[in-house]
Amino acid sequence: MKALTSWELSRQLMLDELPRCNYSPGTVRYYIHAVTDFSKYFHRSPERLAPSHIREYQMHPFRDRKVPPGAIQSRCAALRFLFVKNLRRPCLLDEIPFPKRPRKLPAVLTPDEVAKLIDSARNLMHRTMPMTLYATGLRRAEFCHLKVTDIDSARMVSHVYQGKGSRDRDVPLTPKLLENLREYWPWMKPRAYLSPGMVNNSALPPGASRSYVE
């Protein structure tokens, strides 16, 4: 049996430890990708790298690749997990600072602009998604995992299970949204998910939903 290299052992340890800490599958994939990129940048296993390497790697995306601060913060979180949790080197925590992110006001549509956007939808599917997002404040990924049984018309709420931060919550329904959902249900005939995907009535992938709202 082929012996694992030190980097392969570190990678496997991360794959074991991240789910144990209840990180989402998407976060696990991103952390592994970030740490792999860090290792490949220096062509060395992470445990052989010093604080000077961390500083150089943090400057690399800013200087050479023009990566936005938000993405760099995620990379820093991955490196912190690697060195502090996996490699047991808490002394390096101060060597991996989070870069400041500029705070900008979002572009907010007027009610008339929102109404025009919704009314321009090509069909009930394309109409229901932006209307639900606007009326409830759901994220696209949360909408894609919304089930028919999550709509509670008696209490005028929609149940959101394991949303952002793996939290459950209820969001209010408006009478106009409920009216649209009642029109949408016999037209779409969803069995499980309110917005079903193309395979075996699975959830619509969040990436596929982007075209409906942009």
Amino acid at 163: G
Phi, psi angle pair for 188, to nearest 5°: -90, -35
Task: Report d(CA 60, CA 67) in Å as an integer.
Answer: 9
Whether 197 and 122 share a structural domain: yes
What SS3 state is found at 5?
Answer: coil
Distances (CA, A) of 170 to 101, 128, 152, 162, 175: 30, 19, 10, 11, 16
Which CATH number is 170's domain given? 1.10.443.10
Domain boundary among 67, 95, 123: 95
Which domain, by its residues, includes 204?
Answer: 111-213
Residue 1 within any structural domain of the chain: no
What DSSP state is assigned to residue 162?
S
Residue 73 within any structural domain of the chain: yes
Distances (CA, A) of 189 to 24, 119, 127, 136, 177: 30, 22, 15, 22, 17
Regarding pTM above 0.75, the answer is no
Whether 24 and 52 share a structural domain: yes
pLDDT at 109: 85
Task: Report d(CA 90, CA 81) in Å as an integer.
Answer: 10
Tens place of pLDDT per residue across the chain (214 aa): 454 566 777 788 888 888 888 888 888 999 999 998 888 888 888 888 888 888 888 888 777 667 777 888 888 899 999 888 888 888 878 888 888 877 888 888 888 998 898 888 888 888 998 899 999 999 988 888 899 999 999 999 999 998 877 789 999 999 999 999 999 999 988 888 888 766 666 777 766 656 555 5
DSSP β-bridge partners for residue 152? 157
Whether 70 and 118 share a structural domain: no
Task: Report d(CA 34, CA 39) in Å as an integer.
Answer: 9
Residue 106 within any structural domain of the chain: no
pLDDT at 1: 46
DSSP β-bridge partners for residue 151? 158
Residue 104 within any structural domain of the chain: no
Total of domains in the chain = 2
- Residue identified by tokens 């939290």 is 167
Domain boundary among 95, 129, 152: 95
Secondary structure in 3-state letters for 66-114: CCCHHHHHHHHHHHHHHHHHHCCCHHHHHHCCCCCCCCCCCCCCCHHHH
Whether 209 and 115 share a structural domain: yes
Q: How many CB atoms neighbour CB 31 within 10 A?
A: 23
- Residue identified by tokens 């109404």 is 115
Whether 116 and 207 share a structural domain: yes
Whether 141 and 82 share a structural domain: no
Domain boundary among 95, 127, 149: 95
Whether 11 and 91 share a structural domain: yes
